[in-house]
Chains A and B, each alone.
Chain A
Protein backbone atom coordinates (compact mmCIF):
# COMPACT_ATOMS: atom_id res chain seq x y z
CA UNK A 1 0.00 0.00 0.00
CA UNK A 2 1.12 3.54 -0.35
CA UNK A 3 0.65 6.20 2.27
CA UNK A 4 -1.90 8.15 0.26
CA UNK A 5 -4.24 5.15 0.21
CA UNK A 6 -4.16 5.19 3.98
CA UNK A 7 -5.96 8.51 3.98
CA UNK A 8 -9.01 6.65 2.64
CA UNK A 9 -9.32 4.81 5.92
CA UNK A 10 -12.01 6.21 8.18
CA UNK A 11 -10.62 8.62 10.77
CA UNK A 12 -7.15 8.81 9.26
CA UNK A 13 -5.97 12.05 7.71
CA UNK A 14 -2.85 12.65 5.65
CA UNK A 15 -0.94 15.63 7.00
CA UNK A 16 2.08 15.39 4.77
CA UNK A 17 2.72 12.86 2.01
CA UNK A 18 6.01 11.07 2.07
CA UNK A 19 8.36 10.44 -0.79
CA UNK A 20 6.77 8.04 -3.21
CA UNK A 21 10.01 6.27 -4.07
CA UNK A 22 9.91 4.62 -0.65
CA UNK A 23 9.34 0.91 -0.63
CA UNK A 24 5.61 0.16 -0.33
CA UNK A 25 4.33 -0.28 3.22
CA UNK A 26 4.03 -3.96 3.99
CA UNK A 27 3.80 -3.88 7.78
CA UNK A 28 2.19 -1.80 10.46
CA UNK A 29 3.73 -1.55 13.89
CA UNK A 30 2.11 0.18 16.84
CA UNK A 31 3.99 0.97 20.05
CA UNK A 32 4.98 3.73 22.43
CA UNK A 33 8.11 2.02 23.63
CA UNK A 34 11.20 3.26 21.85
CA UNK A 35 13.18 0.02 22.20
CA UNK A 36 10.32 -2.01 20.76
CA UNK A 37 9.94 0.45 17.92
CA UNK A 38 13.65 0.27 17.09
CA UNK A 39 13.48 -3.49 16.99
CA UNK A 40 10.43 -3.77 14.80
CA UNK A 41 10.32 -0.99 12.25
CA UNK A 42 12.12 -0.89 8.93
CA UNK A 43 11.83 0.81 5.57
CA UNK A 44 8.48 -0.82 4.82
CA UNK A 45 6.73 -0.29 8.16
CA UNK A 46 4.06 2.23 9.00
CA UNK A 47 4.66 3.28 12.59
CA UNK A 48 1.62 4.01 14.73
CA UNK A 49 2.50 5.77 17.96
CA UNK A 50 1.48 8.29 20.58
CA UNK A 51 5.02 9.63 20.68
CA UNK A 52 5.31 12.91 18.86
CA UNK A 53 8.73 14.37 19.46
CA UNK A 54 12.24 14.87 18.20
CA UNK A 55 13.28 11.36 19.23
CA UNK A 56 10.55 9.91 17.06
CA UNK A 57 11.80 11.86 14.04
CA UNK A 58 15.29 10.56 14.82
CA UNK A 59 14.04 6.99 14.74
CA UNK A 60 12.31 7.70 11.44
CA UNK A 61 15.61 9.00 10.15
CA UNK A 62 17.77 6.14 11.45
CA UNK A 63 15.44 3.31 10.51
CA UNK A 64 14.20 4.76 7.18
CA UNK A 65 10.58 4.57 8.31
CA UNK A 66 8.30 5.53 5.37
CA UNK A 67 5.40 6.83 7.44
CA UNK A 68 4.16 7.61 10.93
CA UNK A 69 0.60 7.77 12.13
CA UNK A 70 -0.08 9.81 15.24
CA UNK A 71 -3.08 9.13 17.43
CA UNK A 72 -6.06 10.68 19.17
CA UNK A 73 -6.27 13.51 16.70
CA UNK A 74 -3.14 15.10 18.12
CA UNK A 75 -1.97 17.73 15.71
CA UNK A 76 1.79 17.38 15.08
CA UNK A 77 3.93 20.46 15.45
CA UNK A 78 5.00 22.09 12.19
CA UNK A 79 8.62 21.51 13.08
CA UNK A 80 8.02 17.81 13.34
CA UNK A 81 6.09 17.63 10.07
CA UNK A 82 8.85 19.42 8.19
CA UNK A 83 11.52 17.25 9.84
CA UNK A 84 9.64 14.13 8.79
CA UNK A 85 9.21 15.58 5.30
CA UNK A 86 12.98 16.06 5.06
CA UNK A 87 13.33 12.33 5.72
CA UNK A 88 10.69 11.62 3.10
CA UNK A 89 8.35 10.13 5.67
CA UNK A 90 4.59 10.59 5.46
CA UNK A 91 2.76 11.95 8.49
CA UNK A 92 -0.79 10.85 9.19
CA UNK A 93 -3.11 11.56 12.10
CA UNK A 94 -5.80 9.21 13.30
CA UNK A 95 -8.74 10.44 15.31
CA UNK A 96 -8.81 7.24 17.34
CA UNK A 97 -6.52 5.67 19.88
CA UNK A 98 -3.94 3.00 19.15
CA UNK A 99 -6.23 0.01 19.48
CA UNK A 100 -9.01 1.58 17.47
CA UNK A 101 -6.66 2.76 14.72
CA UNK A 102 -5.13 -0.67 14.33
CA UNK A 103 -8.64 -2.12 14.15
CA UNK A 104 -9.67 0.32 11.46
CA UNK A 105 -6.58 -0.44 9.39
CA UNK A 106 -7.18 -4.16 9.75
CA UNK A 107 -10.77 -3.75 8.65
CA UNK A 108 -9.83 -1.49 5.74
CA UNK A 109 -7.30 -4.04 4.59
CA UNK A 110 -9.90 -6.80 4.61
CA UNK A 111 -12.45 -4.64 2.82
CA UNK A 112 -9.91 -3.94 0.10
CA UNK A 113 -9.77 -0.20 0.82
CA UNK A 114 -6.03 -0.54 1.16
CA UNK A 115 -4.08 -3.25 -0.58
CA UNK A 116 -0.61 -4.56 0.01
Chain B
Protein backbone atom coordinates (compact mmCIF):
# COMPACT_ATOMS: atom_id res chain seq x y z
CA UNK B 1 0.00 0.00 0.00
CA UNK B 2 2.79 2.39 0.96
CA UNK B 3 4.45 1.68 -2.35
CA UNK B 4 1.24 2.33 -4.14
CA UNK B 5 0.75 5.63 -2.32
CA UNK B 6 4.26 6.56 -3.40
CA UNK B 7 3.10 7.15 -6.95
CA UNK B 8 0.32 9.60 -6.10
CA UNK B 9 2.61 12.51 -6.98
CA UNK B 10 2.82 11.29 -10.56
CA UNK B 11 -0.89 10.53 -10.65
CA UNK B 12 -1.86 13.96 -9.35
CA UNK B 13 0.58 15.71 -11.69
CA UNK B 14 -0.78 13.80 -14.67
CA UNK B 15 -4.42 14.34 -13.72
CA UNK B 16 -3.77 18.06 -13.47
CA UNK B 17 -2.10 17.99 -16.85
CA UNK B 18 -4.30 15.61 -18.84
CA UNK B 19 -7.81 15.74 -17.41
CA UNK B 20 -8.10 19.26 -16.09
CA UNK B 21 -11.04 21.40 -17.11
CA UNK B 22 -9.64 22.50 -20.46
CA UNK B 23 -8.57 19.02 -21.48
CA UNK B 24 -11.81 17.41 -20.42
CA UNK B 25 -13.61 19.64 -22.86
CA UNK B 26 -10.87 19.67 -25.52
CA UNK B 27 -10.69 15.87 -25.56
CA UNK B 28 -14.45 15.60 -25.70
CA UNK B 29 -14.60 18.05 -28.59
CA UNK B 30 -11.85 16.38 -30.58
CA UNK B 31 -13.55 13.01 -30.10
CA UNK B 32 -16.84 14.38 -31.37
CA UNK B 33 -15.30 16.24 -34.31
CA UNK B 34 -12.40 14.01 -35.34
CA UNK B 35 -13.27 10.68 -33.69
CA UNK B 36 -9.90 9.09 -32.82
CA UNK B 37 -8.01 10.76 -35.66
CA UNK B 38 -6.06 12.86 -33.12
CA UNK B 39 -5.26 10.06 -30.67
CA UNK B 40 -1.68 10.17 -31.97
CA UNK B 41 -1.24 13.68 -30.56
CA UNK B 42 -2.08 12.40 -27.07
CA UNK B 43 0.31 9.46 -27.41
CA UNK B 44 3.05 11.76 -28.72
CA UNK B 45 2.47 14.05 -25.75
CA UNK B 46 2.52 11.23 -23.21
CA UNK B 47 5.88 9.99 -24.44
CA UNK B 48 7.26 13.54 -24.42
CA UNK B 49 6.14 14.38 -20.90
CA UNK B 50 7.46 11.01 -19.67
CA UNK B 51 10.90 11.72 -21.13
CA UNK B 52 11.21 15.17 -19.55
CA UNK B 53 9.40 14.48 -16.28
CA UNK B 54 11.70 11.50 -15.69
CA UNK B 55 14.74 13.75 -16.24
CA UNK B 56 13.32 16.52 -14.05
CA UNK B 57 12.46 14.06 -11.27
CA UNK B 58 15.89 12.45 -11.48
CA UNK B 59 17.65 15.83 -11.34
CA UNK B 60 15.49 16.81 -8.34
CA UNK B 61 16.20 13.53 -6.54
CA UNK B 62 19.95 13.66 -7.14
CA UNK B 63 20.64 17.39 -6.71
CA UNK B 64 17.52 18.72 -4.89
CA UNK B 65 17.15 21.20 -7.72
CA UNK B 66 13.64 21.83 -9.05
CA UNK B 67 13.08 22.92 -12.63
CA UNK B 68 12.84 26.67 -12.28
CA UNK B 69 16.05 26.75 -10.31
CA UNK B 70 17.72 25.21 -13.36
CA UNK B 71 15.94 27.59 -15.73
CA UNK B 72 17.49 30.65 -14.11
CA UNK B 73 20.87 29.05 -13.80
CA UNK B 74 21.12 27.75 -17.34
CA UNK B 75 19.27 30.44 -19.29
CA UNK B 76 20.66 33.31 -17.24
CA UNK B 77 18.78 36.05 -15.46
CA UNK B 78 17.34 37.74 -18.57
CA UNK B 79 16.03 34.83 -20.64
CA UNK B 80 15.10 33.11 -17.39
CA UNK B 81 12.97 36.11 -16.51
CA UNK B 82 11.27 36.04 -19.91
CA UNK B 83 10.46 32.38 -19.32
CA UNK B 84 9.24 33.21 -15.82
CA UNK B 85 6.84 35.85 -17.14
CA UNK B 86 5.51 33.54 -19.86
CA UNK B 87 5.24 30.48 -17.61
CA UNK B 88 3.68 32.41 -14.79
CA UNK B 89 1.11 33.95 -17.11
CA UNK B 90 0.16 30.55 -18.53
CA UNK B 91 0.02 28.98 -15.09
CA UNK B 92 -2.12 31.82 -13.80
CA UNK B 93 -4.56 31.51 -16.72
CA UNK B 94 -4.84 27.79 -16.06
CA UNK B 95 -5.34 28.39 -12.35
CA UNK B 96 -8.25 30.72 -13.17
CA UNK B 97 -9.81 28.07 -15.38
CA UNK B 98 -9.32 25.27 -12.86
CA UNK B 99 -10.93 27.15 -9.99
CA UNK B 100 -13.84 27.86 -12.31
CA UNK B 101 -13.75 24.17 -13.29
CA UNK B 102 -14.17 23.11 -9.67
CA UNK B 103 -17.11 25.50 -9.47
CA UNK B 104 -18.56 24.04 -12.70
CA UNK B 105 -18.36 20.53 -11.24
CA UNK B 106 -20.23 21.78 -8.18
CA UNK B 107 -22.80 23.44 -10.43
CA UNK B 108 -23.30 20.10 -12.14
CA UNK B 109 -23.99 18.47 -8.78
CA UNK B 110 -26.10 21.21 -7.20
CA UNK B 111 -27.63 23.31 -9.99
CA UNK B 112 -26.31 26.39 -8.21
CA UNK B 113 -24.64 28.71 -10.72
CA UNK B 114 -20.86 28.31 -10.82
CA UNK B 115 -20.13 31.98 -10.27
CA UNK B 116 -21.64 31.63 -6.80
CA UNK B 117 -19.36 28.69 -6.06
CA UNK B 118 -16.26 30.42 -7.39
CA UNK B 119 -15.14 32.39 -4.29
CA UNK B 120 -15.69 29.35 -2.06
CA UNK B 121 -13.66 27.17 -4.44
CA UNK B 122 -10.82 29.69 -4.40
CA UNK B 123 -10.89 29.75 -0.61
CA UNK B 124 -10.83 25.94 -0.44
CA UNK B 125 -7.88 25.69 -2.82
CA UNK B 126 -5.97 28.24 -0.78
CA UNK B 127 -6.84 26.50 2.53
CA UNK B 128 -5.53 23.18 1.26
CA UNK B 129 -2.29 24.82 0.13
CA UNK B 130 -1.99 26.73 3.40
CA UNK B 131 -2.80 23.94 5.83
CA UNK B 132 -2.60 20.45 4.33
CA UNK B 133 0.69 18.59 4.25
CA UNK B 134 2.05 17.96 0.76
CA UNK B 135 1.85 14.17 1.01
CA UNK B 136 -1.72 14.22 2.36
CA UNK B 137 -2.72 16.64 -0.38
CA UNK B 138 -1.30 14.56 -3.20
CA UNK B 139 -2.77 11.34 -1.80
CA UNK B 140 -6.27 12.71 -1.30
CA UNK B 141 -6.56 14.34 -4.69
CA UNK B 142 -4.47 11.83 -6.62
CA UNK B 143 -6.59 8.93 -5.37
CA UNK B 144 -9.89 10.78 -5.69
CA UNK B 145 -9.02 11.65 -9.28
CA UNK B 146 -8.70 7.93 -10.02
CA UNK B 147 -12.51 7.86 -9.86
CA UNK B 148 -12.28 9.13 -13.44
CA UNK B 149 -11.47 5.58 -14.47
CA UNK B 150 -15.26 5.52 -14.68
CA UNK B 151 -14.68 7.11 -18.11
CA UNK B 152 -12.96 3.96 -19.32
CA UNK B 153 -15.62 1.76 -17.71
CA UNK B 154 -18.35 3.75 -19.42
CA UNK B 155 -16.65 3.41 -22.79
CA UNK B 156 -16.40 -0.34 -22.32
CA UNK B 157 -20.06 -0.58 -21.27
CA UNK B 158 -21.19 1.31 -24.36
CA UNK B 159 -19.80 -1.55 -26.44
CA UNK B 160 -18.44 0.82 -29.06
CA UNK B 161 -17.26 -0.20 -32.48
CA UNK B 162 -13.72 -0.93 -31.23
CA UNK B 163 -12.50 -1.79 -34.70
CA UNK B 164 -13.72 1.52 -36.04
CA UNK B 165 -12.14 3.49 -33.18
CA UNK B 166 -8.80 1.76 -33.52
CA UNK B 167 -8.97 2.15 -37.25
CA UNK B 168 -9.58 5.90 -37.04
CA UNK B 169 -6.69 6.18 -34.59
CA UNK B 170 -4.31 4.13 -36.74
CA UNK B 171 -5.19 5.79 -40.02
CA UNK B 172 -5.75 9.37 -39.00
CA UNK B 173 -7.44 11.49 -41.63
CA UNK B 174 -8.94 14.93 -41.57
CA UNK B 175 -12.71 14.37 -41.62
CA UNK B 176 -14.91 15.95 -44.26
CA UNK B 177 -15.96 19.43 -43.34
CA UNK B 178 -12.89 20.09 -41.19
CA UNK B 179 -9.94 22.08 -42.47
CA UNK B 180 -6.38 20.87 -42.21
CA UNK B 181 -5.30 23.91 -40.12
CA UNK B 182 -8.09 23.20 -37.62
CA UNK B 183 -6.98 19.60 -37.39
CA UNK B 184 -3.43 20.64 -36.60
CA UNK B 185 -4.61 23.33 -34.23
CA UNK B 186 -6.33 20.65 -32.15
CA UNK B 187 -3.30 18.40 -32.47
CA UNK B 188 -1.18 21.14 -30.92
CA UNK B 189 -3.80 21.74 -28.23
CA UNK B 190 -3.67 18.05 -27.23
CA UNK B 191 0.11 17.86 -27.46
CA UNK B 192 0.51 21.11 -25.53
CA UNK B 193 -1.92 19.92 -22.86
CA UNK B 194 0.14 16.78 -22.34
CA UNK B 195 3.38 18.75 -22.07
CA UNK B 196 2.26 21.84 -20.13
CA UNK B 197 5.25 23.28 -18.29
CA UNK B 198 3.49 23.45 -14.92
CA UNK B 199 3.54 19.65 -14.82
CA UNK B 200 7.35 19.56 -14.60
CA UNK B 201 7.41 22.54 -12.22
CA UNK B 202 5.02 20.73 -9.91
CA UNK B 203 6.50 17.27 -10.31
CA UNK B 204 10.11 18.29 -9.68
CA UNK B 205 9.18 20.61 -6.81
CA UNK B 206 7.04 17.82 -5.35
CA UNK B 207 10.05 15.53 -5.46
CA UNK B 208 12.00 18.08 -3.41
CA UNK B 209 9.03 18.59 -1.05
CA UNK B 210 9.02 14.84 -0.45
CA UNK B 211 12.78 14.84 0.05
CA UNK B 212 13.53 12.33 -2.66
CA UNK B 213 17.16 11.24 -2.86
CA UNK B 214 19.23 9.00 -5.10
CA UNK B 215 17.49 6.03 -3.48
CA UNK B 216 14.16 7.16 -4.86
CA UNK B 217 15.02 6.90 -8.54
CA UNK B 218 12.85 3.81 -8.89
CA UNK B 219 10.02 5.74 -7.28
CA UNK B 220 10.61 8.52 -9.81
CA UNK B 221 10.35 6.06 -12.69
CA UNK B 222 7.21 4.46 -11.24
CA UNK B 223 5.56 7.87 -10.81
CA UNK B 224 6.38 8.91 -14.35
CA UNK B 225 5.68 5.70 -16.20
CA UNK B 226 2.43 4.94 -14.36
CA UNK B 227 1.06 8.43 -13.73
CA UNK B 228 1.37 10.02 -17.15
CA UNK B 229 0.23 7.06 -19.26
CA UNK B 230 -2.74 6.74 -16.91
CA UNK B 231 -3.61 10.40 -17.54
CA UNK B 232 -3.20 9.82 -21.27
CA UNK B 233 -5.40 6.74 -21.15
CA UNK B 234 -8.17 8.69 -19.44
CA UNK B 235 -8.07 11.43 -22.05
CA UNK B 236 -8.21 8.79 -24.81
CA UNK B 237 -11.18 7.15 -23.06
CA UNK B 238 -12.98 10.48 -23.02
CA UNK B 239 -12.20 10.93 -26.71
CA UNK B 240 -13.54 7.46 -27.42
CA UNK B 241 -16.72 8.17 -25.48
CA UNK B 242 -17.60 11.29 -27.42
CA UNK B 243 -16.49 9.70 -30.68
CA UNK B 244 -19.00 6.93 -30.01
CA UNK B 245 -21.90 8.99 -28.70
CA UNK B 246 -21.59 12.42 -30.30
CA UNK B 247 -19.67 12.00 -33.55
CA UNK B 248 -22.41 10.02 -35.35
CA UNK B 249 -25.02 12.67 -34.58
CA UNK B 250 -22.73 15.62 -35.17
CA UNK B 251 -22.99 17.22 -31.71
CA UNK B 252 -19.98 19.13 -30.39
CA UNK B 253 -19.91 19.10 -26.57
CA UNK B 254 -18.79 22.49 -25.32
CA UNK B 255 -19.91 22.26 -21.74
CA UNK B 256 -19.00 20.05 -18.81
CA UNK B 257 -22.55 18.70 -18.51
CA UNK B 258 -22.55 17.58 -22.14
CA UNK B 259 -19.23 15.84 -21.56
CA UNK B 260 -20.73 13.91 -18.65
CA UNK B 261 -23.69 12.79 -20.74
CA UNK B 262 -22.15 9.70 -22.39
CA UNK B 263 -21.21 8.39 -18.94
CA UNK B 264 -24.77 8.66 -17.67
CA UNK B 265 -25.98 7.02 -20.88
CA UNK B 266 -23.67 4.09 -20.19
CA UNK B 267 -23.80 3.79 -16.41
CA UNK B 268 -26.85 5.69 -15.22
CA UNK B 269 -27.00 7.88 -12.14
CA UNK B 270 -24.16 6.16 -10.32
CA UNK B 271 -21.91 6.77 -13.29
CA UNK B 272 -22.95 10.39 -13.44
CA UNK B 273 -22.28 10.86 -9.72
CA UNK B 274 -18.86 9.24 -10.04
CA UNK B 275 -17.89 11.29 -13.06
CA UNK B 276 -18.87 14.51 -11.25
CA UNK B 277 -16.74 13.49 -8.26
CA UNK B 278 -13.94 12.73 -10.70
CA UNK B 279 -14.28 16.09 -12.44
CA UNK B 280 -14.25 17.80 -9.06
CA UNK B 281 -11.12 15.95 -7.93
CA UNK B 282 -9.28 16.42 -11.21
CA UNK B 283 -9.99 20.15 -11.48
CA UNK B 284 -9.28 20.68 -7.80
CA UNK B 285 -6.02 18.79 -8.19
CA UNK B 286 -5.15 20.92 -11.21
CA UNK B 287 -5.98 24.07 -9.24
CA UNK B 288 -3.58 22.95 -6.49
CA UNK B 289 -0.95 22.08 -9.06
CA UNK B 290 -1.15 25.43 -10.85
CA UNK B 291 -1.58 27.46 -7.65
CA UNK B 292 1.53 25.90 -6.15
CA UNK B 293 3.42 26.13 -9.44
CA UNK B 294 2.79 29.88 -9.50
CA UNK B 295 4.60 30.11 -6.16
CA UNK B 296 7.28 27.58 -7.10
CA UNK B 297 8.35 29.32 -10.30
CA UNK B 298 8.64 32.80 -8.82
CA UNK B 299 10.36 31.63 -5.63
CA UNK B 300 12.79 29.38 -7.43
CA UNK B 301 13.73 32.10 -9.89
CA UNK B 302 14.58 34.51 -7.07
CA UNK B 303 16.04 31.87 -4.75
CA UNK B 304 13.51 32.43 -1.95
CA UNK B 305 12.58 29.70 0.51
CA UNK B 306 9.60 27.87 -0.94
CA UNK B 307 7.38 24.91 -0.34
CA UNK B 308 4.95 23.23 1.94
CA UNK B 309 7.50 21.29 3.92
CA UNK B 310 8.01 24.35 6.15
CA UNK B 311 5.55 26.33 8.22
CA UNK B 312 4.08 29.03 5.98
CA UNK B 313 5.92 31.82 7.82
CA UNK B 314 9.24 30.21 6.86
CA UNK B 315 8.30 30.71 3.21
CA UNK B 316 6.38 33.98 3.47
CA UNK B 317 7.01 35.32 0.00
CA UNK B 318 6.14 31.98 -1.58
CA UNK B 319 2.81 31.90 0.23
CA UNK B 320 2.07 35.50 -0.67
CA UNK B 321 2.61 34.73 -4.37
CA UNK B 322 0.26 31.73 -4.09
CA UNK B 323 -2.38 33.67 -2.17
CA UNK B 324 -2.33 36.67 -4.49
CA UNK B 325 -2.45 34.42 -7.57
CA UNK B 326 -5.51 32.60 -6.25
CA UNK B 327 -7.18 35.85 -5.27
CA UNK B 328 -6.63 37.47 -8.66
CA UNK B 329 -7.67 34.24 -10.39
CA UNK B 330 -10.98 34.25 -8.51
CA UNK B 331 -11.57 37.90 -9.40
CA UNK B 332 -10.72 37.21 -13.03
CA UNK B 333 -13.04 34.20 -12.98
CA UNK B 334 -15.84 36.32 -11.54
CA UNK B 335 -15.81 38.46 -14.69
CA UNK B 336 -17.56 35.40 -16.17
CA UNK B 337 -14.72 34.78 -18.62
CA UNK B 338 -15.29 31.38 -20.25
CA UNK B 339 -12.99 29.03 -18.29
CA UNK B 340 -12.83 26.52 -21.09
CA UNK B 341 -11.69 29.12 -23.62
CA UNK B 342 -9.14 30.36 -21.09
CA UNK B 343 -7.47 26.97 -20.74
CA UNK B 344 -7.56 26.36 -24.45
CA UNK B 345 -5.70 29.60 -25.02
CA UNK B 346 -3.28 28.95 -22.20
CA UNK B 347 -2.48 25.46 -23.46
CA UNK B 348 -1.79 26.68 -26.96
CA UNK B 349 0.24 29.62 -25.67
CA UNK B 350 2.21 27.28 -23.45
CA UNK B 351 3.14 25.29 -26.53
CA UNK B 352 4.92 28.44 -27.67
CA UNK B 353 6.91 28.71 -24.43
CA UNK B 354 7.77 25.03 -23.96
CA UNK B 355 11.32 24.90 -25.38
CA UNK B 356 12.58 27.42 -22.81
CA UNK B 357 11.52 25.12 -20.01
CA UNK B 358 12.69 21.83 -21.44
CA UNK B 359 16.13 22.91 -22.69
CA UNK B 360 17.57 23.51 -19.19
CA UNK B 361 16.27 20.15 -17.97
CA UNK B 362 18.01 18.35 -20.82
CA UNK B 363 21.25 20.30 -20.22
CA UNK B 364 21.43 19.64 -16.50
CA UNK B 365 20.40 16.00 -16.85
CA UNK B 366 23.60 15.63 -18.90
CA UNK B 367 25.85 17.52 -16.50
CA UNK B 368 28.06 15.22 -14.43
CA UNK B 369 28.70 18.08 -11.96
CA UNK B 370 25.12 17.64 -10.84
CA UNK B 371 24.28 14.11 -11.78
CA UNK B 372 27.50 12.18 -11.25
CA UNK B 373 27.03 8.76 -12.78
CA UNK B 374 23.29 9.34 -13.16
CA UNK B 375 23.51 11.50 -16.28
CA UNK B 376 21.14 10.76 -19.15
CA UNK B 377 21.50 7.52 -21.01
CA UNK B 378 21.58 7.64 -24.77
CA UNK B 379 17.86 6.87 -25.19
CA UNK B 380 16.81 9.83 -23.01
CA UNK B 381 19.09 12.14 -24.97
CA UNK B 382 17.92 10.95 -28.37
CA UNK B 383 14.27 11.27 -27.37
CA UNK B 384 14.90 14.54 -25.54
CA UNK B 385 16.59 16.06 -28.57
CA UNK B 386 13.94 14.85 -31.00
CA UNK B 387 11.25 16.32 -28.76
CA UNK B 388 13.08 19.62 -28.45
CA UNK B 389 13.17 19.95 -32.23
CA UNK B 390 9.48 19.10 -32.29
CA UNK B 391 8.74 21.62 -29.53
CA UNK B 392 10.54 24.37 -31.42
CA UNK B 393 8.56 23.57 -34.58
CA UNK B 394 5.32 23.57 -32.59
CA UNK B 395 6.29 26.85 -30.92
CA UNK B 396 6.82 28.44 -34.33
CA UNK B 397 3.52 27.38 -35.89
CA UNK B 398 1.30 27.71 -32.81
CA UNK B 399 0.43 31.39 -32.89
CA UNK B 400 -0.07 31.59 -36.71
CA UNK B 401 -2.33 28.52 -36.57
CA UNK B 402 -4.29 30.05 -33.74
CA UNK B 403 -4.91 33.15 -35.85
CA UNK B 404 -5.70 31.27 -39.07
CA UNK B 405 -8.20 28.88 -37.46
CA UNK B 406 -9.68 31.50 -35.12
CA UNK B 407 -8.67 29.19 -32.25
CA UNK B 408 -10.20 26.06 -33.71
CA UNK B 409 -13.63 27.50 -34.39
Q: Is chain B a partner of chain A in the same complex?
A: no
